[in-house]
Structure formats: C-alpha cells, structure tokens
Amino acid sequence: MVGILRSQLVEAFAKGNHCDSILYGDSTTRLAERTLSETAKGRGGAIPWLTGDGRSPHGIKIVYPMRDLLRKEITAYMAMAAPPLRPFLVENTLGKKSSASSKNLTIEDLMGQYFESVESNYPSIVANVVRTSGRLVAPPLGSQHHSVCHICRLPLVSGAEGLRWSGEQEGPAAPTCSNGSKDIPKLCFGCARSTLNP
C-alpha cells in the first residue's frame, strides 16, 4: 500500500507542477522485483503500467531511463565516478536479514532477497524478467468512463473487478461496508486481497 500511495503522491505532484513526464531511477533489478511482487499480490494485470515506459492511465508519461542497468552495475559506476557518488548510495540491507525470519518479510523483501542472490550469479535471469514484462501491452482504456480501482486508481479489466467471491472454494466471505451494505467501491484483485481481514 505504501508503494501505491507513493506513486499517487509523485503523480499528483507532477500534475500540480505541470510536468510532462516522470523519470524513475529504477534499475533492471528493481523492475524485476516489482514485476514478480506485484504479480504475487494479484496485480499482474497492471504490470504494463507499473514497469513499462509510456503514458500512465492518468495521462503523465512515465520513463525508466535506467531500466537496462543492473543494480550491481549502477553500484560499480557510483564507486568509480568522479566526483564520488558513493555517499548517495542507499545500502540494501535485505540480504543481511536472517532467513529464519523470512516469515516476517513482505513480498517485496522476499523478491529483493531473491533478485539480490540471482543478480550476482545469473544476471540474464533478471534481465529476462524485465524484457518479458516489457512485452506486455496495457489494454486500451477506451472511453474516459472506464472503471478504476478505488485504491490503486489503475483501470479495471472489464468483467474482472475484485475477487470472484462466488467462485472461490473455502475462500473468504465477500467484504461489506461498515454499515453492513454489500455496495462497496470497485477494487482490483490485488487491492481486494490486500484489504481483507486476516
């Protein structure tokens, strides 16, 4: 949820300051982490908007200029650059966490650990995840009146809003509003899963 709020804040700031584009400094490694973590959280349909260059559903162009660079390549460059860029490097502490405590990690933390280990020995796997997600095409939005998720504000795929409550076996009961009404805002699958009570 923090990532969703952060991107909405950045986009609102960009719109408020009449910016044409938003440039994110995400590396190939970070985009691969996001691709798999968002897919695991049920937001796979939003991958073209979350990791690809192009226009967001809200009209601002999103660009990832470092999408072809691995995290370790950026770190190596920062160590060699003059003037030194090393002070601006934020160290990744995910790999230093004990695997015994992995039950307390978020999906993002688990993906970070995974790609940190994969990147050092098999960088082509990281690049393949991003190249494959780059081939995904965002569905056309059609009219200005398309349905959007009330939390992440991404377009909903027609006929696939929220959870398929009636089709789940032994799944959770459909959520209700605090007043008991079943007339709840439309949510995408990922946001609906994120807001369920444990």
Which pLDDT does position 177 carry in this prediction?
A: 53
- Yes or no: say if 158 and 148 are a contact pair by the CB < 8 Å rule: no
For residue 1, how many C-alpha atoms fall within 13 Å in the half-sphere facing its CB?
Answer: 8
Instruction: Give the distance, in angstroms, between the CA of residue 172 and the centroid of all CA atoms in the same chain.
Output: 25
Predicted local confidence at residue 163, as pLDDT: 43
Cα–Cα–Cα angle for 156, 164, 189, rounded to 5 degrees: 40
Kindly state the tokens that stand for 83.
Answer: 């003037």
Per DSSP, 62 falls in state E
State the pLDDT at residue 31.
93
Predicted pLDDT at 43: 83
* Rounded-to-integer distance, Cα 35 and Cα 80, Å: 30
| Ranges of the chain whose pLDDT falls below 50 | 94-95, 98, 100, 160-174
Q: Phi/psi zone of residue 42: left (φ > 0), alpha (ψ -120 to 50 degrees), beta?
A: left
* 3-class secondary-structure state, position 64: coil
**Residue count (the chain):** 198
**pLDDT value of residue 142:** 61
CA 85, distance to chain mean position in Å, is 27
